[in-house]
Structure 1
Amino acid sequence: MKTKLYVLYGGKSVEHEVSLKTAVTVLLSIDEARFEVYPIYITPDGLWCTPGHLSKEALTIERLIAEPAFRDPARSIGEILSGVMALPGPKVVMPLLHGSNGEDGTMQGLLELLNVPYVGNGVLSAALTLDKAMSKQILAQADIQQTKYMVSRFEEWSMDEAAVLRDVEHSIGYPCYVKPASLGSSIGISRCMNRGELLSGIREAFSYDKKLVIEREVDGREIQVAVIGNERPLASFPGEFIHEHSFFDYESKYMDKRLTMSIPAKLADGLTPRIRELAIRAYQAHGCEGLARVDFFLDSEGELFLNEINALPGFTNFSMYPVMWERTDGTSYSELIEKLIGHAIARHKNKQTLKYTR
C-alpha cells in the first residue's frame, strides 16, 4: 500500500504566494510510485479545501488554488480532517506553510493532536525559530555570537514613540534593521539610515506584528547553511547569494533574475567547519528536527554573527536549501524530500514509545 502524503500549502500568511511556489516544486518532484498525494489548499482567510488530484503535466500555481465548499473555518477544516485526512492506511503530512499560522507551531500543534507524522520542526522549535526575539534569547544562552539588538513592543511604542526612537539611536545606532518578530521572506523589514526612516520602518513593521526586533547592521557577507536530521543532524557546505543589493529584501530574493549562488562559499581556511558546527549548535539549541536553514553574517574582520534560523526555508528548485545539499553530497531534490519524510516518520515512531498513563 502506498503511503498517503498530505501536502498543505497556501495559508493565512503574508507568505502565501511563497508557499504556492514551494508547493508546485514539491508536488512535481514527489515519487508517485511510492506516495499517494493529496494536495490541501489553505486560503488567505484560513479556509481548507482540496483541488483534488493534479496531474504533473498540467500542474501550475493557478491549478493549486481551490474554492472552499464552506465559508466557516471550523467547518472547512473539519471536512478535510474527517474526509480526506481520515482515509485508512499509512500517512504523513508535509506542511509547506511559510510564516504565521503554519511555520509558528500552530499547525504543528494540530498535527500532534491528530497523531500523524509530519515533516519539519515540532511545536516548540517551530514557534521559537519564527519568533526572532525568543530565538535571540536562545542563541544568547547557547553563547552564539549575534549582532546587538533590542526588542520593541507595540504597547511601549504607542505610549511614547519618541522614547523608543531615542533608545534605538542610543543602543543600536545607524544603519539598523527593523524587523517584525515573527515573519520571514524579508517582509516588513526596513533598513534605516536616519530617524525619519526609522520612524516609517517601525510603523511599517508594526502593521505586521506587535513585537519588533531592531538590529545593528553587520557590514559583510551573508552565509547560509542547510541542516537536516533529528537527534544527529548534518550540516551542508555553506553557501551565499552573490548580489549587489544593500538590503536583500523580498523583491531582491524572489524577483531578481541576476542572483547567483556560490556553493561552497569562498571562505578563509578553517571557517567552513566552524560555520557548520555553529549551525548544528544553533539547530540543537532550538530543539529543531527535520530541517532548518541557519544564516550568518561574516564581517570584514572575519567575525561571525548568527543572523537567524529559518525552520521552513524556501524550497523551490532555485532555493538555497535544496541546492546546498545537492552540492554537498549529491542529494537530488526528490531524494531530499524522501529524506525529510523519512525523518518525519522516524520521529513519529519514536514518540509512540512514550507513556501517557501511569
Structure 2
Amino acid sequence: MNRKVNVGVIFGGKSAEHEVSLMSATAIINAIDKEKYNVVPIGITKEGSWMLYSGPIEQIESGEWEGISNKLLKDKPKENVFSIIPVGKEDHSIEQVVPMGLANKIDVIFPALHGPYGEDGTIQGLLEMADIPYVGAGVLASSLCMDKIYAKKLFELEGLSVVEYVVVLRNKLKKNMGEYIAEIEEKFEYPVFIKPANLGSSVGITKAHDRDEMIKGLNEAAKYDRRILVERSIECREIECAVLGNDDPMASVVGEIVPSHEFYDYEAKYFDDGKSKLIIPADIPKNKSEEVRQMAIIAYKALDCTGLSRVDFFLEKETNKIYINEINTMPGFTKYSMYPLLWQETGLPYDKLIDKLIKLALERYDDRY
C-alpha cells in the first residue's frame, strides 16, 4: 500500500468507561505518525449515535467533540459515515447502526473503546461484518476476556492459578440473598472483592469488610451486570504484563501498581492526580518476573488473543504465589497508562507501538484465508 493508510479511531461508546476512551483516543491520535497515516476520528455518544469528527483533537478528551460533531452534521449531513436507521418498533425507539460505504474510506480501525460494546466482541463483530481490519482481539477472544467468570474457567483449564470465587446471579439476588451470603461466608473470610462479570477499569468493584458492605457491594455490582463475581481477598502486590502479537506474541517487562486507594479502583486508575504509583520494571525476583511473563503468554494464547492485551496478576505476599487475575484486550492507552509504559521500558516507544498494532491488524486480516 503506497498511499497513506486511512486509520479510523473509534472513541466514546455506551459503556461506563466512556470518559476513559476519550483519554485513550486523544493520546493515540496525537501520537500516530501523520506521515504514514490519515486519521479519521469516529465518535460514539453515550446514547449510541455515531459521528464523524473533524474538530480540534484536544476537545475529544474534554467531551466537547460531541457538540462540534452535532453542528457539523447539521451543516453537512452527508459527511456522516454511518446511517442511523430506525427498526423494530413503530415509534422508532430502537435504532440500528448500519455501515454505509465505510469500507471504501477506512483501511483499518483502531477501536479505542473500553468495556461493554467496545471490548467485549460487539464492535469487533460489526467490523467483521463490514469486512474492515481492526486493531486488537477478535470476537471470541474479546468476549471471553471481558467475561471474568469464563476467563477464569479457561485459565483453570490451562493450569493457571486463580483466586477462589463464587458466582452470584442478579435475578436470584433478592430472593436468595441469605443463601448467597451463607455460601460466601462459609467459603471465605472477610474482606471479599465483589465485581460485575463484564466490565473493565474496576467500575462497579467494591471491597467488602463485613456482611453489610457485602450486601451493598452485591447490589452495586448488580447495576452493571446480571452475573456477579465474589472473590477471596488476598494480601498481594498487583503485577501487570503487556503482550503484543498475533500467533507469536511477545511479553514485555513486568510492572507493579501501588494504588493510592485500598485497591486499584476506577478513581485510583484515572483521577487521583498521579498518587498511584506504577513501578516499571517491578521490584520482584527475576524468576517470578519470568513466571509472570510465561503465564501471560499462556493465557493470551489460551483465549486466542491477537494484537494486544494487558495481563494482570496478583503476587501473594505470604506465599509468593502468582495468581492470574484477568486479561484486558483494550487496556487504557494514554501515554501514562501501564500498557504503553511497559512497552516503552521494553524498548518500543509509544508511537512505534501504535504503528506495530496497525501492522498486526492488517496482517491478521490478510491471513484469514
Q: 1:74 to 1:333 in 2, by over 3 A?
A: farther
Equivalents in 1 of 2:277, 2:45: separation in Å? 33
Aligned to 2:367: 350
Partners of 1:47 and 1:72 within 8 A in 2 = no
Q: 1:171 to 1:34 in 2, by over 3 A?
A: same
Partners of 1:48 and 1:77 within 8 A in 2 = no
1:273-304 deviations in Å (ceiling 9; x for gaps): 11100000011111100000001100112111
Equivalents in 2 of 1:221, 1:240: separation in Å? 7
Q: How does 1:46-85 map to 2 (within 5 A)?
A: 46-52=48-54, 54=55, 61-65=62-66, 66-67=69-70, 73-74=84-85, 81-83=99-101, 85=102
> TM-score of the superposition, structure 2-length normalised?
0.89
Deviation, 1:241, is: 2.0
Deviation, 1:78, is: 5.1
Amino acid at match of 1:259: S
Structure 2 residue 354 is the aligned partner of structure 1 residue 337: yes
Q: 1:57 to 1:48 in 2, by over 3 A?
A: closer
Aligned to 2:311: 294
Partners of 2:307 and 2:360 within 8 A in 1 = yes
Q: Quick check: 245-254 or 13-22, which moved more? A: 245-254
Aligned to 1:34: 36
Of the candidates 127, 136, 141, which is equivalent to residue 143 of structure 2?
127
Deviation, 1:159, is: 2.6
Aligned to 1:275: 292
Of the candidates 225, 229, 234, which is equivalent to residue 241 of structure 2?
225
> TM-score of the superposition, structure 1-length normalised?
0.92
Partners of 1:146 and 1:305 within 8 A in 2 = yes
Of the candidates 93, 98, 103, which is equivalent to residue 119 of structure 2?
103
Aligned to 1:136: 152
Q: Secondary structure at the match of 2:264?
A: coil
Aligned to 2:89: none
Unaligned runs of 5+ in 1: 354-358
Q: How does 1:157-306 map to 2 (within 5 A)?
A: 157-256=173-272, 257-300=274-317, 301-306=319-324
Deviation, 1:59, is: 6.6
Q: Secondary structure at the match of 2:298?
A: helix
Partners of 2:83 and 2:100 within 8 A in 1 = no
Deviation, 1:244, is: 4.4
Equivalents in 2 of 1:167, 1:306: separation in Å? 24
Equivalents in 1 of 2:119, 2:58: separation in Å? 29
Q: Alpha carbon RMSD of aligned pairs, Å?
A: 2.0
Equivalents in 1 of 2:164, 2:113: separation in Å? 30
Deviation, 1:87, is: 3.2
Equivalents in 1 of 2:170, 2:258: separation in Å? 36
Q: How does 1:145-164 map to 2 (within 5 A)?
A: 145-164=161-180
Q: Quick check: 282-291 or 247-256, which moved more? A: 247-256
Aligned to 2:91: none
Partners of 1:239 and 1:264 within 8 A in 2 = yes
Partners of 2:23 and 2:61 within 8 A in 1 = no
Aligned to 1:356: none
Q: Secondary structure at the match of 1:236?
A: strand
Percentage of matched positions with identical amino acids: 39
Structure 2 residue 345 is the aligned partner of structure 1 residue 327: yes
Of the candidates 328, 347, 352, which is equivalent to residue 310 of structure 1?
328
Equivalents in 2 of 1:43, 1:58: separation in Å? 14
Q: Secondary structure at the match of 2:184?
A: helix
Partners of 2:260 and 2:268 within 8 A in 1 = no
Equivalents in 2 of 1:36, 1:77: separation in Å? 28
Equivalents in 2 of 1:73, 1:176: separation in Å? 44
Equivalent pairs, count: 347
Q: Secondary structure at the match of 1:237?
A: strand
1:38-77 deviations in Å (ceiling 9; x for gaps): 111001011111122x455877534533326699954687
Q: 1:110 to 1:321 in 2, by over 3 A?
A: same
Q: Quick check: 175-184 or 43-52, which moved more? A: 43-52
